[in-house]
Amino acid sequence: MSPHLSEETRARAVELLGLYPHPRSALIPICHLAQEQDGWLTPEAMAEIAELVGLSPAEVLGTASFYDMLHTEPVGRYLVSVCTNIACMLRGAYELLGHAEEHLGVRSGGTTADGVFTLEEAECLADCGRAPVCQVNHRFFGDLTESSFDSLVDDLRSGRLDDVVPPHGTLVRVRRRGGLRVDDETVAVERARTAKAMAERAAQSGGAS
């Protein structure tokens, strides 16, 4: 079976594995990587991640399905998350959500037939000062009105916001160069150092008790 994750994704995943004392700790960061590749976590990706981190596919799905920001179903090119928490709600979030549903022609949680938009309801997005707020692929748009929402949709469709809104799944738009670029040897050294430190700590606490 040829791997589903691209060579680059796999390479970055291996680097991430090196940053943690237990491989399974890298599960969520690697899920984000895979999501960056496909826009959502495909079953093939989850099965491959399971192998990478030494868990079962069911455990990967268990974790992935727990978190809202990890998607185990296909997501449109743009994920529109409308906040309906208190500040936004008081400033008309539900009306805005209702309008968005009508305008996009999908219910919250659904994806438009052309696969461009997925609409969802979100809890506080921590931008209450500009309520009501929505995120598109995790980029903020505040002080929304029904008409500004419509023009946001227009801009997204026409590609005018391509510079601002990356494809869904991308958390870090300008990925820091080098920060994650660790070679295998450094990873191995780091692993060994952590293991040693852990062993020492264990020995100490064992001796003390």
Partner 1 sequence: MADPTVTSHHGIAPRSEPGATVQLTIDGVGVTAPAGQFLIAAAEDAGVFVPRFCYHPRMKPVGMCRMCLVEVSGPRGATLQPACYVPVAEGMEVVTTSEKVRKAQDGVLEFLLVNHPLDCPVCDKGGECPLQDQTLAYGPGESRFVEEKRHWAKPISLSELVLLDRERCIQCGRCVRFAAEIAGEAQIDFLSRGDAVEVNVFEDHAFSSYFSGNTVQICPVGALTAAPYRFTARPWDLDQVESTCTTCAFGCRVAVQSSANRVTRLLGIDTDPVNQSWLCDKGRFAYEAVNSGDRLTEPLLRRSRDGDLEPATWAEALAEVARRLSAVRDAQGPDAIGVIGGARLSNEDAYAWTKLAKGVLGTDNVDAQLGDGLPAELVLGLPRATVDEACRASCVVTLSGDLREELPVLFLRLRGAADAGQTRLVELCHRSGPLSALTAASVVVRPGELAGAVEALVAGPGAAPATLDAGALGAARAALSAAGEGGEGVVVVLGRPSLAEHETVVANAALALAAALPGARFLPALRRGNVMGALEMGMAPGLLPGRVRLEDGGEALAAAWGAVPAARGRDTAGMLRALAAGEMRALVLVGADVLGDFPDRRLAADALGAAELVVAVDTFLSSSSAHADVVLPAAGPHERSGSTTNVESRVTRLGQKLVAPGQSWPDWMVASELAARLGGDLGATSVGELWDEAERLAPSLAGCTRAVLDSDAGRDGVVVPLRRAGVGLPSLRPSRRIDPIATPGIEAVERQGAPPRAGLAERVGGDEAPGAPAGRTAAPPPASVGLPTGFAGPEVAPASPGSLRLVTARRLYDDGALVEASESLTALAGPAVALLHPDELRRAGVAEGGRLRLRSGRGELLVDAVADPGVPPGVVQVPFNLDGGDGSGASALVDAGAAVTDVTVEAP
Q: Which does 86 bind (CB under 5 to 8 A by kind): partner 1, ligand FES, none?
A: ligand FES
Q: CB 86 → ligand FES: shortest distance, Å?
A: 6
Q: CB 123 → partner 1: shortest distance, Å?
A: 12
Q: Which is nearer to partner 1, 59 or 155 (CB)?
A: 59
Residues 91-130 that bind ligand FES (CB under 6 A): 124-128
DSSP string for residues in the chain: ---SS-HHHHHHHHHHHHTSSSGGGGHHHHHHHHHHHHSS--HHHHHHHHHHHT--HHHHHHHHHH-TTS-SS---SEEEEEE-SHHHHHTTHHHHHHHHHHHHT--TT-B-TTSSEEEEEES--S-GGG-S-EEETTEEE-S--HHHHHHHHHHHHHTTTTTTSPPTT-S-SSPPTTTS---HHHHHHHHHHHHHHHHHHHHHHHHH-
Q: Which does 163 bind (CB under 5 to 8 A by kind): partner 1, ligand FES, none?
A: none
Q: Which is nearer to partner 1, 22 or 193 (CB)?
A: 22
Task: Check binding of 90 to ligand FES (CB under 6 A).
Answer: no
- Residues near partner 1 (CB under 8 A) are 43, 46-47, 55-62, 65-67, 209
User: What are the residues binding ligand FES (CB under 6 A)?
Assistant: 83, 85-88, 124-128, 131, 133
